[in-house]
Amino acid sequence: MIEEIRIQNLGVIGRAQVQLGPGLTVLTGETGAGKTMVLTALSLLLGGKADPATVRTQAQAAAVEGRVVLPADAPALVRAEEAGAELDDDGSLLLVRTVGAGGDGGSGRSRAFVGGRSVPQGVLGELAQALVTVHGQADQARLRSPAHQREALDAFVGPQHRDTLARYRAAWAERARVDAELTELVERAQDRSREAELLRLGLGEVERVDPQPGEDVALAEEAERLAHAEDLRAAASGAHAALTGDEDGGTEALSAAAVVEHARRLLDQAGAHDPTLAALATRVAEAGYLLADASTELGAYLEDLQADPRRLEVVHQRRAELGTLTRSYGADVAEVLAWAAASGLRLLELEGGDQRIEELRGTRDALDASIAELAAELTRGRADAAQRLADVVSQELTGLAMAGAQLQVVVEPADAPGPHGADRVEMLLVPHAGAPARPLGKGASGGELSRVMLALEVALATAPHDDEARPGTFVFDEVDAGVGGRAAIEIGRRLAELARGSQVLVVTHLAQVAAFADRHLVVTKSTSDGVDVVTESDVRPVDGEDRVRELARMLSGQDDSQAARTHAAELLELSSVGR
């Protein structure tokens, strides 16, 4: 339920607070008083399009706040919390919409907030679907569309039917996805075959060469070593001789090892008298061990080092083979191996294309069978409910001063199945006894459409439904347009009936409708500095004598007419009968 709406700088409204409540609330006032701006404010809260032109002259921005009370498990509340909204301390949800003024110095931007969190405008629209149903002149036009008529019938059938429709639509969407994938696979069969052949050639070449991880790096190092074998031998031999001395020479050469050993002995002898020299003797001894290890490894290196032209040729040939791969499939062997791994998986995928095609065809056949079964179930539900809906609405039309009027709901096979089933639903109206049945979209007047729409809402309100399927608030903008007299009284009665289980807000010019309200709000204008403006004091609930005067004004244009006041009192007494 919407508890209240606060409006600031919107159209003629400077600042206003509209207090709402359960049951039927009517909003009345003279033409141009600002009733339309109240509905505009509600539209903004529900995610409607923002128009900077509606911002009050000389104001920088317009703002609308709405406070909504929802059950803890309401879908709208769940969606709001997903968007980051937080509830107020009293458990209500605050919706805010601001609209910047356009023109010079104005941004014209609109911003939306839910529960204190800035959200995209679309979030308000999502919440609106679960919160409010709005009926106005545009909605009467939508009633002429077969899609809207089908939706009304589906809503009347019941929750199980809606579950079936949801499963049908899911299967239909999945069938479209499968068919798109299947079409792509079939159409690209030649491209896949060509790609697979190229991959086979590449993988065959890699398999023939059989590169090993890091092989290119190792071969490069070996080639460098073999190409400079003599230089390496000379350097290693000289270093070995320097470390160990010239053992083949005629004179004893002074070796690095011998020099270090001599230093160690000197330090070791003197170290008995000074710990510092003893520590240095230890470090020099360690250097001697390192020199001994190095000389041993140099000796082994010289034994293994050979100038082998044949091996060098083999290494160059192997590097050339690897080069053919790196020129085509990667900068080095590591990238070539990575390409081969990925290409192997891709080849498996391509070679499995035919199998995937068969799988998809099987899936499509299964979905076609499921869609046909669900479509048949939808058809049965619609056909069973069509006559019941027609009877209920026709009975309501009789009560709405359309004696002899009948609604016919026709369910026929569609030319082809679609996302909503295999049926074409059309509503026909017989406006009076003896008249031919004509489609709502062609033969119904505005007044007749208003009453058909209200009769449908009453029928849907009394039909089986789950809590998530029906919003808790209904808004009717001049649903009584084009009617009067007894028909207006019956419209008021039906609105009151609908309001027994829902919150209903009605903007009306007819006293016959307003008399049935549980809460009557009147919008008036005051003048400030020669400019019309609606302030908080100008949106007020009326009761007792004030309400009688307002109804009298609506009846005759004069709130002091005794005859009009007598008629207004009679209307109030009539509306209270049976309530």
- Reference 480, options 456, 511, 457, 502; nearest CA is 511
Give the model's pLDDT for residue 250: 42
Helix, strand or coil, per DSSP, at residue 305? coil
Strand, coil or helix: what is 413?
strand
Tokens 């104001």, residue? 59
Residue 435: enclosing H or E segment and its boundaries? none
Please give the chain's pLDDT, 579 residues, in tens. 888 899 998 888 888 888 888 899 999 888 776 777 888 888 888 888 888 888 888 788 899 999 988 877 777 888 888 888 888 877 788 999 999 887 655 567 889 898 888 888 888 888 887 788 777 666 666 777 888 889 889 988 888 998 999 999 999 999 999 999 888 877 777 777 888 889 989 999 999 989 999 988 888 887 877 777 777 777 878 887 887 875 554 445 567 878 888 888 888 878 777 888 888 888 888 888 898 888 888 878 777 776 677 777 887 888 888 888 988 898 999 999 999 999 988 888 777 667 778 888 999 999 999 999 999 999 999 999 999 999 999 988 887 778 888 999 999 999 999 999 999 999 998 888 888 888 876 766 777 777 788 888 788 877 765 555 567 788 888 777 666 777 788 888 888 888 888 889 988 888 988 999 999 999 887 766 666 666 656 788 999 999 999 899 888 887 778 888 888 888 888 887 655
The per-residue pLDDT for 131 is 82
User: Quick one: pLDDT at residue 529?
Assistant: 63
- Dist CA 207 CA 343 (whole Å): 12
Token pair 């023939």 in the structure block, residue: 208
Q: Among 398, 462, 385, 471, which residue's Cα sits nearest to residue 149?
A: 385
Q: Starting at the earlier edge strand, list the strands of the sheet with 438-439.
A: 406-418, 421-430, 438-439
- Reading the block at residue 138, the tokens are 């545009």
Nearest to 64 by CA among 87, 46, 81: 46
Q: What is the pLDDT of residue 161?
A: 93
Specify the pLDDT at position 260: 84
Residue type, 194: R
Say whether 522 sits in a helix, a strand or coil.
strand
**Taking the CB of residue 397, how many other CB atoms lie within 10 A of it?**
24
For 120, other C-beta atoms within 10 Å of its C-beta total: 13
For residue 223, give every residue at least 6 positions away whose Cβ sits within 8 Å of its Cβ, in sequence order, or none.
312, 315, 316, 319
Of the candidates 228, 561, 194, 131, which has an alpha carbon nearest to the alpha carbon of residue 353? Answer: 194
Amino acid at 168: Y
Q: What is the pTM of this model?
A: 0.61
- pLDDT of amino acid 385: 92
Q: What is the Cα–Cα distance from 478 to 453, expressed in whole angstroms?
A: 12
Question: Among all chains, which residue has been given the structure tokens 């009147």?
Answer: 522
Residue whose pair of structure tokens reads 């071969």 in the numeric block: 219
Say how far apart CA 468 and CA 482 lie, in whole Å.
Answer: 33
